[in-house]
Chain A
Amino acid sequence: MTDAALAFHRRIDTALADAGLRRALTLTTGRLASGRTGAFGGLADAEASRQEARLARASAVARLDSYLDRFASAAAARGSTVHWAETAADARRIITGIANDRGIRLAVKSKSMATEEVELNEALEHAGVRVVETDLGEFVVQLGGDRPSHIITPIIHLTRQDVAALFREKLGAAPEEVADIPAMTALARRVLRAEFLRAGMGISGVNLAVAETGSICVVTNEGNGRLTTTLPRVHVALLGLERIVPTAADLASVLTVLARSATGQASSVYTNVITGPRRRGGGRGGPETGDPDGPDELHIVILDNGRSRLLGTPLSEILYCVRCGACLNVCPVYRLIGGHAYGGVYPGPVGSVVMPGLHGVEGWSELAHASSLCGACRDACPVKIDLPHLLLAVRREAAARQLAPLWIRAAMPVYAAVVTRPWLYRCVGRAAARLARVVQHEGWIRRLPGPLGAWTASRDFPIPAARSFVEEHQARKAAAR
């Protein structure tokens, strides 16, 4: 097993031993998953809505280069500045450059997994720009020096009491300020409101970008996204290059399933569609081109960081993903181990494809084995990504590169040789049945050797039958004749 795989197994063991984590995960994933089911129940034809959203995403990914060009020129025409970042380092350089060139010392951020992916906060702090997370969950993550453990609910691993203790320690909160969730939210709001007013830069992610209009869509539930994207002088939006839809109608199709899948809401509380920075109206373009609200500058940084390499590969379907987190909430493995155990920015079934996809199977393929292939993720996905199929594609790639454990690599050709020779299969079956009769205890095997011991650590193993079904069936037929 590789070092990365061993580290993954150690993190899993740590997570499984954490009873508090288990309780927190069970509660919140259960609530989110049943919320999703309920919200889809409110649609006239949920299956048709998913299909429509999938088509919107699939058509964009199928011709991504041309839609990206169309988006970039439409955005530029509306006054946005478009940057292309091939790598995470490029994105960090571009964004710190924008801040430093303008003498900006404070940036507020709304929630963005892409900025987590490129480790933007560290880069900005290093460049002398203080960064304040304004999504309540991310604010808590930042206060605690923690990492988000879920795409949508970053502090799913914490309890209310954990957050109260953190607020008392880091913010010097009085007992009444952490008495309940509304009090804690009010405290966070007081702290954050001051930062919003001082910040020179607002940084957001992008849920979806519309090619035909050059618009970016940012959905939030707390209103912090709207403040982040309108109040500071400069707005920087980091856009994963696959998050394009061709038209505004396609945007509507995806939004129909996005909030339902993420939080069980028919729509998010704030759906912001931003088309360029503030513009003076009434000029030669006519009054309709004016937009007096918003920042002076809007910079859209389009991030590749390995995404374009997936085009045309067996993993390309993962580019349809809109990061709703539904696959995490229904995954029986995620529900037990939580996001941190996966070790990457994106956890759960989607992360187990995205991480090896973006960063290579060498360090990340073991994630794809953390699935029983039960298919709950595929059924929950709002754009119907066949996640088990993609997990299998990662496993194939890993097997082809000899990354599977030695015992599996050794056993596989033997297994195939036996199964493809019925006479040998019968012989091995009879031998195994005889052997099992020696080691059995009341018809069960209580301890298996080597790696197979992982089974008998918690379960008994049945012994093979003295006579196989096929042999017994033939004997019965012969006797009846």
Chain B
Amino acid sequence: MTPRPARVQFFATCLVDQFFPAAGHAAVEVLERCGIEVHVPPDQTCCGQPAFNAGFAEDAAAMARATIDALSRSTEPVVVPSGSCADMIINHYPELLAGDAAYGPKAKALAARTYELSQFLVDVLGVDLPAATAGPSLAYHASCHGLRGLGLREQPRRLLRAVAGDRVADLPDAETCCGFGGLFAIKMGPVSSAMLESKLDAIERSGADVVVATDVSCLMHIGGGLHRRGSRVRARHIAEVLAGPNHD
């Protein structure tokens, strides 16, 4: 196991930064409660995954270099509240910049010290969270890139069971994609929408009050679909659930 660090850098991701700051503040609060000092590098922007997935490798590489610069002013671990963006840094940056003499080695070094939030909490800190007594029932959706790119299967579930116990409902087909896929949701709108419909049906059938995931990208998609339906179910990032009802 990686030795417990005193301080981490927090890479919020562009979606948390611009659309879901509450998830970022909650993640910082959870980390600080674990005794970790959190530094937020001010010049962080977007990891470049949309360009990478669209096939625009040069543009993606430019954004990767900017993110590497922002996160390489110290050698402290980097915590990312998104399995997808963490997967981009960990699994795709080294390959994308393999031919870059200056940034190739930096990409590898960054990849080696980058963690998705739940992965960091469970695998590095081995945290014990206080169990909450009451609260909404939760359904966990396993976001694809965290699940299949980083192997996040047990960590988020373990954290949710710790804070919510038997309030975690069983979500059928929890590991099936919600249909977000970045530009896929636009380029293949009708297919993406049909995938979302199946996911929303499963969420509503689960009887949960809140659907939880490690990625705000999926939650933006699922949440937007739930709101359009007029559903009572809310979408929340795992950090918000872990921080509890009193965080802001």
Q: Which of these binds chain B: A173-181, A199-207, A281-289, A467-475?
A: A467-475
* Chain A residue with the shortest CB-CB distance to B144: A374
Q: Which residues of B contact A420 (CB under 8 A)?
A: 45, 62-63, 65-66
A422 and B176 within 8 A (CB): no
Q: Which residues of A contact B51 (CB under 8 A)?
A: 412, 415-416
Which of A375, A444, A455, A470 interacts with B189 by CB under 8 Å? A455
* Chain A residue with the shortest CB-CB distance to B59: A416
Mark out the residues of chain B between 145 and 182 whose CB falls within 8 Å of any chain A CB in the assembled complex. Answer: 145, 147-149, 176-177, 179-182
Mark out the residues of chain A between 424 and 481 whose CB falls within 8 Å of any chain B CB in the assembled complex. Answer: 425, 429, 432-433, 444, 451-452, 454-455, 457-465, 467-470, 472-474
Q: Which residues of A contact B104 (CB under 8 A)?
A: none
B69 CB → nearest A CB, Å: 9
Mark out the residues of chain A between 371 and 390 whose CB falls within 8 Å of any chain B CB in the assembled complex. Answer: 371-376, 378-379
Given the interface pairs A399-B54, A416-B62, the reply to whether A16 lies near B194 with Cβ below 8 Å is yes
A349 CB → nearest B CB, Å: 12
How far, in whole Å, are A404 and B50 apart by their CA atoms in the complex? 14
Q: Which residues of A contact B195 (CB under 8 A)?
A: 332-333, 336, 372
A99 CB → nearest B CB, Å: 43
Which of A375, A405, A452 interacts with B149 by CB under 8 Å? A375
A341 CB → nearest B CB, Å: 9
Which of B28, B65, B70, B225 interacts with A473 by CB under 8 Å? B28
Which of A369, A473, A474 interacts with B188 by CB under 8 Å? A369
A269 CB → nearest B CB, Å: 31
* Chain B residue with the shortest CB-CB distance to A461: B224
Which of A13, A336, A463, A473 interacts with B25 by CB under 8 Å? A473
Interface status of A337 (Cβ within 8 A of chain B) = yes
A369 and B40 within 8 A (CB): no
Given the interface pairs A469-B25, A473-B24, A473-B28, the reply to whether A458 lies near B55 with Cβ below 8 Å is no
* Chain A residue with the shortest CB-CB distance to B176: A332
Q: 1/0 per residue A219-248: CB within 8 Å of B?
A: 000000000000000000000000000000
User: How many of chain A's residues have a CB under 8 angstroms from any CB in B?
Assistant: 61
* Chain B residue with the shortest CB-CB distance to A477: B40
Mark out the residues of chain A between 351 and 383 whose CB falls within 8 Å of any chain B CB in the assembled complex. Answer: 369-376, 378-379
A474 CB → nearest B CB, Å: 7
A375 and B145 within 8 A (CB): yes
Interface status of A413 (Cβ within 8 A of chain B) = yes
B221 and A404 within 8 A (CB): no
Most buried by B among A13, A374, A395, A432: A374
A474 and B40 within 8 A (CB): yes
A425 and B59 within 8 A (CB): no
Interface status of B34 (Cβ within 8 A of chain A) = no
Q: 1/0 per residue B2-18: CB within 8 Å of A?
A: 00000000001010111
User: How many of chain B's residues have a CB under 8 angstroms from any CB in A?
Assistant: 65
Query: What's the dominant secondary structure at chain A's contact region?
Result: helix
Given the interface pairs A374-B148, A452-B186, A469-B12, the reply to whether A422 lies near B54 with Cβ below 8 Å is no
Interface status of B137 (Cβ within 8 A of chain A) = no
Which of A336, A370, A379, A392 interacts with B53 by CB under 8 Å? A392
A373 and B190 within 8 A (CB): no
Q: Which residues of B contact A396 (CB under 8 A)?
A: 55-57
Q: Which residues of B contact A379 (CB under 8 A)?
A: 148
Interface status of A408 (Cβ within 8 A of chain B) = yes
A455 and B55 within 8 A (CB): no
B183 and A373 within 8 A (CB): no
B57 CB → nearest A CB, Å: 5
How far, in whole Å, are A373 and B42 apart by their CA atoms in the complex? 30
How far, in whole Å, are A333 and B228 apart by their CA atoms in the complex? 22
Q: 1/0 per residue B192-220: CB within 8 Å of A?
A: 11111100000000000000000000001
Question: Known pairs A336-B195, A470-B40, A472-B21. 9 more at Cβ < 8 A?
Answer: A16-B190, A332-B176, A373-B144, A373-B184, A422-B66, A458-B228, A459-B185, A468-B21, A469-B17
Interface CB pairs A-B, < 8 A, 18: A332-B179, A337-B191, A369-B188, A372-B177, A374-B177, A396-B56, A399-B54, A412-B54, A413-B59, A416-B62, A418-B45, A419-B63, A429-B18, A444-B224, A455-B186, A458-B228, A462-B20, A474-B40
The 10 closest A-B pairs by CB, nearest first: A372-B181, A454-B189, A395-B55, A399-B55, A374-B177, A375-B148, A469-B21, A459-B224, A469-B24, A458-B193
